[in-house]
Amino acid sequence: MKKIVFTIFAFISFSFIANAQAKYKNFQDSIAAEAAKLEVWTTVPEVTAGRYINEAPSDAIILYNGKDFSSFHGRNGKKIGWTIDPDGALTDVKGAGDLITNESFGDCQLHVEFRTPAIVKGSGQSRGNSGIYLMGLYEIQVLDSYKNPTYSNGQAAAVYKQHIPLVNASRQPGMWQAYDIIFKAPVFKTNGELDKPATVTVLHNGVLVQNNVSILGPTDWVTKPVYKKHDAKLPMFFQDHGDDGNPISYQNIWIRPL
């Protein structure tokens, strides 16, 4: 029986790929076309944020304080390729790999400061792209969204391809910006079904941009979100998007498990 099901599945998958390839020049184009179906393009109002500095409170776990990246490791044992600049900024270099926390987290309050490159290279999704992957699965987009049109559900402070930010509070390239994130992890029943979805509230430079929205499942470029049971706590990571529009920098990262 298993064999039959597998054969049918393999046939359907093959037909899909063959179809997609017939329609598009190559496989990469067909994937990109699928990914584009999940994009939403609309105008998000712009807001000029006030100056916003946030020092870690006494009970926070400091993930990065400008000195070392000992709270993180690379993927699959890969050495961390990010650099610490003289000003203490932790900077992604192309191909440096994702920055994964050693510790696992679930419900939390998270403060992150980031800076997209002052010298602008690329456009849209290639401009200062990174991301904060809560639990390694749910991305709050990091992008240079200052006068940089892209699909709205993929601009800075979007829950990637799920929730458009309420406003665009992005600062100019080269300026430090902050996210304050309040995240509640999803809850699963013992049989694996979803009990409660994850929720997230995000302030971008002190401006509310995500107001307790329900996350629909893991965020992805091309596939629709579907929850799969996972642990109550998982490591988060900071994305190395791996393109020329970087390097993006981070500083002052702290977290309060809730």
List contacts with Mg ion (CB under 5 A): 129, 131
Nearer to Mg ion, 126 or 199 (CB): 126
- Nearest approach in angstroms of CB 82 to Mg ion is 16
Nearer to Mg ion, 197 or 242 (CB): 242
Nearer to Mg ion, 74 or 131 (CB): 131
Nearer to Mg ion, 66 or 122 (CB): 122
- Which residue do the tokens 């400008």 mark? 66
- Nearest approach in angstroms of CB 226 to Mg ion is 20
Distance of CA 187 to the CA centre of its chain: 20
Residue 20: what residue type? A
SS3 153: helix
Nearer to Mg ion, 4 or 146 (CB): 146
Cα–Cα dist 242/221, whole Å: 15
CA dihedral (6, 12, 18, 21) positive or negative: negative
Which position's Cβ is nearest Mg ion? Answer: 131
- Nearest approach in angstroms of CB 221 to Mg ion is 9
CA dihedral (155, 159, 161, 166) positive or negative: negative
SS3 130: strand
Q: For residue 68, how many other CB atoms are within 10 A of its CB?
A: 10
SS3 207: strand
- Nearest approach in angstroms of CB 133 to Mg ion is 9
- Nearest approach in angstroms of CB 125 to Mg ion is 8
Cα–Cα dist 182/180, whole Å: 7
